[in-house]
């Protein structure tokens, strides 16, 4: 609990969401859902944005490369972000997490402080003048940064709107063919058809996190049931895939289609003509 690492990111102290999740005994994917939300649940960021708060003051979207060499999402939590997460916790874990992050943030802040009380009056005057100029400049930089972020957000929203217009509604009877086509396009955008396996796995990982399921377990159970029935040839059973598992469950199918659409928007894929 005392190993929380506070780092300086662009002038503000933050902690990694993976460390926070480990400290509070929560799956990282569940913490990401609480922060970023999902199709069925509003996250902290959406709630903050709807309430006219600047979500970047709390949570900063980032990514990292996992042990497989694949890029995964995460967040950097500011002190405000940690407070928001801590306020939702109860019991011993909440108390210990609060005590730890407050202690760590305070330690980092104290390291940056310099005792100026023993300086000469002249140096103290110059120090105050410097701090005043620095504060004015930092405020101007922050204002410029916010304006740039707002412009970038507007551009991203406009691009997403254009992409959404091009991504047609997936026909439930042809969703397998359509999603495969979209994932192929994403693989090409990410470096070539050799990326397809990684893109497909990413879509499955997102589905498992959002639907709280394990596709491998469901696939094995499906094969065992088919073998027990003795109707389907083993050669055909061996060809069962995770897509067959998804197709067996209307809820999983709906969630998976939504995830592929979101991936198409994320990677700015033109999906025109992929279905009706």
Q: pLDDT, tens digit, for every residue of 207-257?
A: 999 999 999 999 999 899 888 888 888 889 899 999 999 999 989 999 999
201/147: higher pLDDT: 201
**pLDDT tens figures, 243-265:** 999 999 989 999 999 999 888 88
pLDDT, position 152: 78
pLDDT, position 275: 41
Residue 145: pLDDT band with limits 50, 70, 90: confident
163/98: higher pLDDT: 98
Q: Give the residue-averaged pLDDT of 142-170.
A: 66
This prediction has a pTM of 0.42
Assess contact for 21 and 93: CB atoms under 8 A.
no
Q: Give the residue-averaged pLDDT of 132-153.
A: 78
| pLDDT beyond 80 at 165 | no
pLDDT, position 75: 95
Which residues partner with 133 through β-bridges?
A: none
Assess contact for 92 and 98: CB atoms under 8 A.
no
17/189: higher pLDDT: 17
pLDDT, position 117: 65
Backbone φ and ψ of 41, nearest 5°:
-130, 135
Tokens of 53: 């708060």
Per-residue 3-state assignment (H helix, E strand, C coil) for the chain: CCCCCCEEECCEEEEEHHHHHHHCCCCHHHHHHHHHCCCCCCCHHHHHHHCCCCHHHCEEEEEEECCCCCEEEEEEECHHHHHHHHHCCCHHHHHHHHHHHHHHHHHHHHHCCCCCCCCCHHHHHHHHHHHHHHHHHHHHHHHHHHHHHHHHHHHHHHHHHHHHHHCCCCCCCCHHHHHHHHHHHHHHHCCCHHHHHHHHHHHHHHHHHHHCCCHHHHHHHHHHHHHHHCCCCHHHHCCCCHHHHHHHCHHHHHHHHHHHHHHHHHCCCCCCCCCC
Domain ranges of the chain: 7-111, 164-266
Backbone φ and ψ of 16, nearest 5°:
-80, 140
């Amino acid at each position: 609990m005392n190993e929380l690492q506070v780092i300086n990111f662009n002038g503000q102290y933050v902690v990694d969401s993976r460390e926070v999740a480990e400290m509070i005994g929560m799956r990282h994917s569940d913490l990401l859902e609480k922060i970023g939300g999902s199709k069925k649940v509003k996250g902290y960021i959406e709630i903050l944005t709807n309430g006219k708060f600047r979500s970047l003051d709390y949570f900063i979207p980032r990514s990292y490369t996992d042990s497989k060499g694949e890029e995964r999402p995460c967040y950097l939590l500011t002190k405000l972000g940690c407070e928001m997460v801590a306020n939702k916790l109860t019991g011993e874990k909440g108390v210990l997490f609060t005590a730890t992050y407050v202690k760590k943030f305070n330690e980092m802040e104290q390291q940056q402080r310099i005792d100026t009380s023993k300086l000469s009056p002249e140096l103290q005057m110059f120090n105050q003048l410097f701090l005043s100029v620095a504060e004015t400049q930092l405020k101007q930089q922050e204002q410029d940064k916010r304006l740039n972020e707002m412009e970038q957000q507007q551009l991203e929203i406009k691009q997403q709107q254009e992409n959404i217009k091009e991504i047609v509604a997936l026909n439930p009877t042809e969703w397998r063919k359509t999603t495969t086509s979209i994932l192929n396009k994403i693989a090409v955008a990410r470096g070539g058809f050799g990326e397809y396996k990684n893109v497909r796995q990413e879509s499955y990982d997102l589905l498992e996190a959002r639907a709280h399921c394990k596709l491998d377990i469901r696939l094995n159970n499906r094969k065992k049931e088919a073998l027990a029935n003795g109707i389907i040839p083993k050669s055909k059973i061996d060809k069962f895939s995770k897509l067959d598992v998804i197709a067996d469950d209307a809820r999983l199918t709906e969630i998976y289609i939504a995830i592929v659409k979101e991936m198409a928007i994320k990677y700015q894929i033109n999906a025109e003509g992929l279905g009706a």
